[in-house]
Amino acid sequence: MTTGRYPATRFRRTRSSDALRRLTRQETLSVDDLIWPVFVMEGENGRDPIASMPEVARLTIDNVVRAAEEAAGLGIPAICLFPYIDPSLKTEDCAEAWSADNLSNRAVRAIKAAVPEIAVMTDIALDPYNINGHDGYVVDGEIVNDKTVEALVKMALAQAEAGADILGPSDMMDGRIGAMRAALEDAGHVNVSILSYAAKYASAFYGPFRDAVGASGALKGDKKTYQMDPGNSDEALRLVERDLIEGADMVMVKPGMPYLDICRRVKDAFGAPTYAYQVSGEYAMLMGAAERGWLDGPRVMEESLLAFKRAGCDGILTYFAPEMARVLTARQG
């Protein structure tokens, strides 16, 4: 890459006015880039604020439906459900995970009945239902892979039957994408998409999320035997390639901001629809600093989301989705 010399080339020329900045801007945010993660709990007309995630709350199904209506009104194309499961339903066999009438599946049906145009994404992992707090079955202290995959397939089929549009396997077990895709095809769910958490790291940024779904106290040990080592990047490409070959329609990098380099490598290598999850710890840091007046909240929100687009992402799961959508809508209006 070569450029001209000063003074013939003055880079500040195209920064000199709002009009020129807009004309030369390489990346922009759109409401179409947003997926809104929402926490669902049992009860009616309830809202339970999450202390470690300012302005985020667990919602009962009726209020999740209202959130979906709000999202659709703002033009947000999808929401993603995460259940807060009653501790009495957490078991060794995790059977509640694939119950047709579990909390998550009832929420899916309610949303699709009320707001059919919005895409509903679900989470596939055993940790909300596992008394051990892990994404897979624990046998003699080991998180076992193949038995877990069998359970995840049942979970995927139950969610597809409930009407989920996008399945989000977040478990990081080997072979689960191929097994789910085969089962979905056999069951006639040929149009259900899989957005695989293909490169999910064993990160310290998940803490507030685990508070939100009630997994913090349940987790025994850590998740390092199945989630990725933060020092690895080549492995992420191998995992993404495998999941695409096995039938994933879209792939995700998680967390987001600490792994923008992975987002760029994935997009450059495969050109597949690539997403990032701006996880709870990222959100909490920005919100906490903004609440204390240390950062300009709206500006850092937008700047952080724009970074994902610059890194090659096609979309972002973010708790800022409704606020960002309102900003973008007001700007266009």
Cα three-residue angle 259-261-267, rounded to 5 degrees: 110
User: Which among 5, 68, 58 is positioned nearest to 214, based on CA atoms?
Assistant: 58
Dihedral angle computed from the Cα positions of residues 321, 327, 330 and 331, in that order, rounded to the nearest 10 degrees: -120
**Phi/psi of residue 78, nearest 5 degrees:** -155, 150
The 8-class DSSP code of residue 66 comes to: H
Q: Helix-strand-coil percent breakdown of the chain, rounded to 5?
A: 45, 20, 35
Q: Which residue has the tokens 């309102």?
A: 326
The beta-strand segments (E) located in 201-293 are: 250-254, 274-278
* Residue 309 annotated as catalytic: no
* Residue 154 annotated as catalytic: no
Q: What Å distances lie between residue 242 and 150, 177, 317, CA to CA?
A: 19, 9, 22
From the list 200, 223, 267, 309, the catalytic residue is 200
99 residue type, one letter: S
CB-based contact 161:112 (threshold 8 Å):
no
**Phi/psi of residue 244, nearest 5 degrees:** -65, -45
- For residue 20, count other CB atoms closer than 10 A to its CB: 12
From the list 90, 254, 267, 309, the catalytic residue is 254
Task: Please state, in angstroms and rounded to a whole number, the distance separating the CA atoms of residues 286 and 261.
Answer: 20
Question: Annotated catalytic sites, by residue?
Answer: 200, 254
